[in-house]
Amino acid sequence: MRTLTTTFLFSLLTFAGACASTSSGKCTNCDKAQAAVTGVAQSNPDCVRLTLHCGMGEGMHCCASTDTARIGTPSHPEDLQAVQTGEIVVLEENGGFDVTVPINNKDGKPTAACGVTVKPGIARDQAMAKAKGIAVAVEVALGGACDCCCK
């Protein structure tokens, strides 16, 4: 029993260390999330920008994005709103739409958000549908929930 407990604690500490963020707020183990975001964005030509937001210590931050300058920065109010309400948030942006879709953890609770900026010229309803599909693709690429790197 002692060996099992020691092994469990060691594994827990190792996992926690791998999921930790730095004092700058950036994830230290977001390669999987970044690969998911990059791959999904490349396969969706209507996606202008794709950003994954997750909880890190105090508040939410961008943990992966096609705009790499955003990684580690605080999430915007619409991203927080999507997680807090569990509802999709749509903003008009430069003739297109910025659609934020909540992503649920394995218990069904929204804990992350996928911000999808859709290119101009696409109707609002169509932009929402595309963003939902893109968010699902990111979630699938992450293994079914956003708990891969940021807590």
- Name the percent of the chain lying above pLDDT 70: 74
Q: pLDDT at position 108, please? A: 84
Q: pLDDT at position 57, please? A: 63
C-alpha pair distances (Å), 35 with each of 38, 39, 82, 96, 141: 5, 6, 23, 25, 9
Give a yes or no: residue 150 inside a domain: no
The DSSP bridge partners found for residue 27 are 21
Give a yes or no: residue 147 inside a domain: no
- In single-letter form, the type of residue at position 81 comes to Q
Q: pLDDT at position 24, please? A: 46
Give a yes or no: residue 121 inside a domain: yes
Query: Of 82, 145, 93, 87, whose CA–CA distance to 117 is shortest?
Result: 93
- In single-letter form, the type of residue at position 4 comes to L
More confident residue, 109 or 77: 77
Residue 97: strand, helix, or coil: strand
Cβ contacts of 145 within 8 Å, gap of 6 or more? 103, 104, 105, 106, 111, 112, 139
* 76 has a pLDDT exceeding 50: yes
The CATH number that applies at residue 14 is 3.30.450.20
CA distance 67 to 69: 5
Q: pLDDT tens across 92-126, in order?
A: 998 899 999 999 888 888 889 999 999 999 999 99
The residue range of the domain holding 81 is 2-141
pTM: 0.78
Highest mean predicted confidence (pLDDT) among 6-20, 58-72, 126-140: 126-140
39 falls in which pLDDT band (50, 70, 90)?
very high
Do 62 and 53 form a contact (C-beta atoms < 8 A)?
yes
* 22 has a pLDDT exceeding 90: no
Q: Say how many domains are in the chain.
A: 1
CA 110 from chain center: how many Å?
11
Q: pLDDT at position 64, please? A: 94
More confident residue, 56 or 92: 92
Give a yes or no: residue 92 inside a domain: yes
Q: pLDDT at position 48, please? A: 95
Give a yes or no: residue 10 inside a domain: yes
For range 77-85, the mean pLDDT: 94
